[in-house]
Amino acid sequence: MAENTDVVVIGGGYAGVMAANRLTQRDDVTVTLINPRPVFVHRIRLHQVVGGSHDVVVDYREVLAKGVRLVVDTVTRIDAAEHSVELAAGGTVGYDYLIYAVGSGSADLGVPGAAEFAYPIAALEEARRLRSVLDDAPATAAVTVVGAGALGIEAAAELAEAGRTVTLVCGEVLGPYLHPRVRRSIAKQLGKLGVTVLEGPDTKVTAVTRDAVRLSGGRELPSRVTVWTAGFGVPDLAVRSGLSTDALGRLLTDETLTSVDDARIVAAGDSAAPSDLPLRMSCQAAGPLGAHAADTVLSRIAGEQPASIQVGFFGLCVSLGRRAATVQLASKDDTANRFSISGRLAVKIKESSYKGLLKHLADEARKPGSHTWPFKDDKRRQLLRAKRAEAPVTRTARHLTDS
């Protein structure tokens, strides 16, 4: 009889659930998913929690394979030498392989007064807290959204559509990822909703007070409620556990998503930095990376060489309230181009993406190993070769593969 293999997955988001489900292909693999919450958070709808139009909570029974053991707890440390993780509630869980899928959250705000007076919304609890603050604020209260990436744009549009007076402070440009042509289109749609958009080098936030936001150009904006969406960070679990990370704290891996420190640790999703060239933090990358991380573990169990990642992008879907959206199209290497989709079709695409993400997870739970992704990035190998040519041989570089 074959020996059983214990695999622990840390993090129950898009990447972690996909990985856990996919691992159930083998009957001789026991899968444990450790997550701080007893429910799945449909994170790309968090701006709708802020706007009061969606709850985003999904029962794990809808997306997680029945064979996966769910442990509701927080991992405080990974002991790679002992092949175990320590839990906040006490005790440890051992593993033969570990998938590190802890995701991302709000970045260190780093601006005077922001931690005290601004409201980040990268996590469920943060979004719910802001929703409560908005419920208590007068309908005419000035709302400032800091950060003009996709989350900032969506939050500003959602709040403006609900009747709030919203100013979107970009820091530099609106939607840095967007093609200029698409950026102009989104700015026009935000204007129709009544959002005031402030762009340019003088719009960096230098301080936040209880009732105002100060900008680098010297301007001070009245702000009864300040929403913070400027950047994402990752949990420091890998750093605290003595594992190699990039500057942001993502786990450094090779192109198979295997840690440069330990072949029994594999990363997926926002917290992975393959070859120190991480993919854009996104649900588009999370699902394929979760599936690939599981495939890497399954290959090692089978005594086979894991494959290198091949993950591309189609672009970026941005909702602009409940009745409008824009789909920014991109090359497979995630470079935005001049083409976009708007109107009713864009709304349908955005809504289908919400449902599609959950369906992908549910389908993988029902039929593990079935998930595929159509977008591949063949240019990544060029980036790897360029990186090797520029950098001296290091421990990380010796682990790179592009076979």
- Tokens matching residue 165: 């007076």
Read out DSSP for 211-260?
Answer: SEEEETTS-EEE-SEEEE-S-EE--SHHHHTT--B-TTSPEEE-TTSBBS
Q: Where are the alpha helices (DSSP H) in 246-342?
A: 283-301
The neighbouring-strand residues paired with 266 are: 99, 258
> What pLDDT does residue 386 have?
83
Q: How many CB atoms lie within 10 A of CB 24?
A: 21
- pLDDT at res. 2: 58
What 3-state DSSP class applies to 146? Answer: strand
The whole-angstrom separation of Cα 272 and Cα 289 is 9
pTM of the model: 0.93
- pLDDT at residue 1, rounded to an integer: 38
> At how many degrees (to 10) do helices 343-366 and 14-23 cross?
40
Q: Identity (one letter) of the amino acid at 266?
A: V
Q: What is the pLDDT along the chain (403 residues), one digit of tens a residue?
A: 358 999 999 999 999 999 999 999 999 999 999 999 999 999 999 999 998 878 899 999 999 999 999 999 999 999 999 999 999 999 999 999 999 999 999 988 889 999 999 999 999 999 999 999 999 999 999 999 999 999 999 999 999 999 999 999 999 999 999 999 999 999 999 999 999 999 999 999 999 999 999 999 999 999 999 999 998 999 999 999 999 999 999 999 999 999 999 999 999 999 999 999 999 999 999 999 999 999 999 999 999 999 999 999 999 999 999 999 999 999 888 999 999 999 999 999 999 999 999 999 999 999 999 999 988 887 787 888 887 777 654 433 333 333 3
In this prediction, residue 47 carries a pLDDT of 95
Report which of 239, 291, 233 is spatially closest to residue 266, judged by C-alpha positions. 291
Contacts of 128 (CB under 8 A, 6+ apart): 49
Element of type H or E holding 30? strand 29-35
Q: Could you identify the residue written with the tokens 């440069």?
A: 260
How many other CB atoms are there within 10 angstroms of residue 116's CB atom?
A: 10
Closest alpha carbon to 64 in 23, 101, 95, 98: 23
Q: Which residues contact 378 (CB under 8 A, 6 or more apart)?
A: 310, 332
Q: Give the phi and the psi of residue 143 in degrees, each rounded to 5.
A: -115, 130
Give me 81's structure tokens.
């030498």
Task: Give the whole-angstrom CA distance, residue 50 versus residue 319.
Answer: 14
Distance of CA 397 to the CA centre of its chain: 26
Task: Answer for the pair 89, 1: CB distance below 8 angstroms, yes or no.
Answer: no
What are the DSSP calls for 332-358, one per residue?
Answer: TTS-EEEEEE-HHHHHHHHHHHHHHHH
Closest among 292, 387, 280, 274 to 333, alpha carbons compared: 280
Predicted confidence at residue 396, as pLDDT, reads: 37
Helix, strand, or coil here: 59? strand
